[in-house]
Structure 1
């Protein structure tokens, strides 16, 4: 689920979320189709979103080889705020065994295809689902070195709490630099609004109204670019597990995330 682990340290107390500036509202409330995302038709209108040439870093959580390389992923790395944490974790899974690392990588590839079709440059923190890591500090460094317009980490949760379901978007708080301030909170709101407007419910058990300010997530703490982390849902919830394990469900998540990123860039 998380940049660091699917069972993180207890979240820091939820802090009041600053009111969203008017320009961050999402204009469309139409549900996102499960069909593949394709570029919208262009008539050369000057009102087309100015997204071409932007750089997005997508960070699909975990990796398929982590489980067989315990020593490597358990080594301590910088986590920000003077802390260290394990390099990475294995992630969670559905009760039927569909792993988080496979879900996040598939969704990230779908988001990448949609954004690339719009002229947006996409950088992935990992190129396959059979490797190890990279460590969370290296993932943050990828976004920093790419001078990304936004860094989006994609995860899923693994809560056994009764009735726990829904997505939430985390961002670093209190901010450690200017990009973790308004730019990251605006990114988090754009992602929250886009996913919620696609008909995907906000979390019933973490955060407030789909947003979760956090101080314990290394990838967010170490970012010098606008960054947010999406927990797409609870893999232990039967309905959400079924959606995540299906190509149609993964496309729905990807379509919503891609549209939200475009909204943020525009």
Structure 2
């Protein structure tokens, strides 16, 4: 069921100040039937948005070893949420299977910075840059959505795309929206307890690779969720329904002023994307 297309549409930056994508109390927005969102390969660069005086991009003083070129692999990138979700609450609130016998809303709107830069736009922009970097190494890249103006797909369809592609790795890209004082930093979620072999050692190894890669590039691990940048989750449908090695990366907290400025800058998004791409390459090598 995986289609391949080359020209993703422009990004739409929404003004949605809602719930964090790790779970919270915002009003989700809509997604049409999941089958309408076909995965594709894209090569366009992500759009950028600016915020006054962004902080310096994290960097490390020690040189990292070169990652070998990986060919013949398939990676599915899942940019969380979508730009049209907020305008389709009926569709996006409908219940779909979420694994472990649970039903959950099809999708949600995601969060945004206090200045209005939306998570869905950030997710899509970073995913495009990650995909371009991986494609340059000979890796086939499949996306769960092809633009930032549509709705959905639902979480069960997102998992299905990764399963159908026979992905060597599935990485869902998000940003959080915690309003807890001082909350900042990234974390990587994985399904636990595992429901199949792929959710066991392969997914935990992928989670460690992403955590280590982001930390090596100077990003700080979360101060408010998980432990040392890792978070075992049993409630995320995209992870529960996957039969491939799968993780969800919360790149940081959009309600933290410093991280919001970083995520809202082109340089910051490029830095996140480079770290994620290198970590995926290291995992596949």
- Report the Cα distance in structure 2 between the residues aligned to 1:31 and 1:118, rounded to whole angstroms: 23
Contact 1:81–1:221 under 8 Å retained in 2? yes
Q: 151, 175, 187: which is aligned to 2:206?
A: 187
- Report the Cα distance in structure 2 between the residues aligned to 1:61 and 1:136, rounded to whole angstroms: 9
Contact 2:20–2:110 under 8 Å retained in 1? yes
Question: For 1:113, what is the secondary structure of its paired residue?
Answer: helix
Indicate yes or no: 2:245 matched with 1:230.
no
Give the drift of 1:31. Answer: 3.3
Name the counterpart of 2:276.
257
Q: 257, 263, 267: which is aligned to 1:248?
A: 267
Contact 2:20–2:178 under 8 Å retained in 1? no
Q: What's the RMSD between the two structures over aligned residues?
A: 1.7
Indicate yes or no: 2:60 matched with 1:31.
yes
Contact 1:195–1:256 under 8 Å retained in 2? yes
- Report the Cα distance in structure 1 between the residues aligned to 2:241 and 2:20, rounded to whole angstroms: 16
After TM superposition, list the pairs within 5 Å mapping 1:1-266 onto structure 2: 6=21, 8=23, 31=60, 49=68, 51-266=70-285
Give the drift of 1:8. Answer: 1.4
Give the drift of 1:53. Answer: 1.1
TM-score normalised to the size of structure 2? 0.78
Distance 1:89 1:5, change over 3 A: farther
- Report the Cα distance in structure 1 between the residues aligned to 2:278 and 2:69, rounded to whole angstroms: 14
Give the drift of 1:9. Answer: 6.4
Give the drift of 1:219. Answer: 0.2
- Report the Cα distance in structure 2 between the residues aligned to 1:9 and 1:170, rounded to whole angstroms: 16
Question: For 1:192, what is the secondary structure of its paired residue?
Answer: helix
TM-score normalised to the size of structure 1? 0.84
Contact 1:54–1:120 under 8 Å retained in 2? yes
Deviations 1:44-70 (A, max 9, x none): xxxx73610100000000000000000
Distance 1:180 1:162, change over 3 A: same
Off by >4 Å, runs of 4+ in structure 1: none
Distance 1:211 1:7, change over 3 A: closer
Name the counterpart of 2:4.
none
Deviations 1:102-155 (A, max 9, x none): 000000000000000000000000000000000000000000000000000000
Deviations 1:138-179 (A, max 9, x none): 000000000000000000000010100000000000000000
Aligned residues between the structures = 230
Contact 2:20–2:176 under 8 Å retained in 1? no
Provide structure 1 residue ranges, at least 5 long, that are not aligned to the other structure.
11-29, 33-39, 41-47
- Report the Cα distance in structure 2 between the residues aligned to 1:222 and 1:73, rounded to whole angstroms: 18
Name the counterpart of 1:20.
none
